[in-house]
Structure formats: structure tokens, C-alpha cells
Amino acid sequence: MSNLKINIMEKDNKISSYNELNKKNIAKAISIIFDTKNDMPEYIKKMLLERLLWATTEHDNQGNYKKYEGQPYWSKGALKKLLFNIAEKQNNPKLNPYQDLRHEHSIPKKIIRELTLINDISEEKSFEILQKYGHAVVISKDEDKLLNQKKLRSKLALPLEKINSLDDVFSRYKMAGIQICEVKNINVLQLTVSDIDKLVSLT
């Protein structure tokens, strides 16, 4: 049994961000890129935007790469797959503990791209979009396939204008039957199956 303290309090349904400063910096970059006063080629603008949208969820406030470790939202399936991989690594030292996990955008990236791909978009508007919709979830490969089977790979379960809470942000996973948990301030590498089962699902 793990000695970790697991938060089993009622979930907080308010949309918040673990890397707000990172999102502010990216919002500033987006507003500069799409300022019509510069003569940057359109294809370069789109290439830069694509990379920035990945960085929106993959980096913390100090710019550190956090594709898996440090991500605040994981599915229970992904946590159990991580636990399985850690055990398997004892027999196979070269095994990546994050094998068969996916860094998935809870609001599909193509939708955020469409919202930010606007000439003269302001820094404030860019940040508003990233703060509200730019969130990631670590899920398992099998859960990723499930999203495809449910035809939720790049579409929403709710109209965009109705997304105003964490429940709404994670509505695709709820529709697919994928349990999402908040693991902020928890070392996911030390969780046991019992710990994972005790985590409160947000979906």
C-alpha cells in the first residue's frame, strides 16, 4: 500500500491551468506572428502556430518539457498502464515507462488552431482561447483507439460555446467512458493500483 496522500475530496469543476504563464507567453507570440504589419510568409506562420499549440500543453511555466511527467490530468487507464510498464521495466531495463501512452488535447488541437489562425488576433484574445481550451490529458493507447471508435478523435461532445467548466472540457472522455482524474501534486510514478482506484473521476 502506498503512503501517498490521495485527494478524495469533491472535484473542483472550475477551469484552471497549471501553466498559465506559459500560455501567456505563447499568446504573446501568436499575436506577434499574426500581426499583419510583418511580412512573414503564411506557411511559416502556420508552422510556428502548430508548434506553439503543442507547447501550450507540453511545457510548464519555466519552459520545461512535460509531455507526461507533471501533467495534471491522467486517465485511470493511463495510470494503470504506467504502473504495468514500471513493473515490466524490471525485466526489460530499456522499456520506456511511458510506452503506449498518449498526450491528448481535451479540446482537439484543430479546433484551437482554427480559433487562433486569425490575422491581428490580440494577445488577450489568444490567451483567453488557450486558457479556456488548451488542456491536455494523458490517456492509454487503448483509450485513444476508443476515441476513434466513438468518432471523437477530432470532434467535440458539446458545442464549443457551451464549454464553460471542467466537465465540459472533458466531455469527450465522459462520452467514451474514459475516467479522467486530477493528479496535480501527486507523483504518478509512485501510485499503486489501490491509490488509482481511490482517485476521484472528473468524468
Residues 49-67: pLDDT tens digits? 999 999 999 999 999 999 9
pLDDT exceeds cutoff 60 at 11: no
Look up residue 106 and give its amino acid.
S
Mean pLDDT computed over 153-174: 91
Confidence band of 166 (pLDDT split at 50, 70, 90): confident
Centroid of chain to Cα 18: 10
**Domain boundaries defined on the chain:** 20-198
pLDDT exceeds cutoff 60 at 17: yes
Q: How many angstroms separate the CA atoms of 169 and 152, rounded?
A: 13
Q: How many angstroms separate the CA atoms of 12 and 24, rounded?
A: 23
Give the CA distances from residue 119 to residues 103, 111, 131, in Å, rounded to whole numbers and listed in that order: 29, 16, 20
- Closest by CA position to 107, among listed 25, 59, 162, 68: 162
Q: How many angstroms separate the CA atoms of 171 and 187, rounded?
A: 26
Q: How many angstroms separate the CA atoms of 195 and 74, rounded?
A: 13
pLDDT of 5: 45
DSSP category for residue 10: P
For 74, phi then psi, to 5°, come to: -130, 150
- Closest by CA position to 4, among listed 202, 198, 203: 198
Q: Crossing angle, helix 109-116 and helix 42-58, to 10 degrees? A: 130
Q: Are residues 105 and 133 in contact, defined by beta-carbon separation less than 8 angstroms?
A: no
Q: Are residues 179 and 75 in contact, defined by beta-carbon separation less than 8 angstroms?
A: yes
Lowest mean pLDDT among 8-22, 71-85, 98-112: 8-22
- Computed over every residue of the chain, the mean pLDDT equals 91
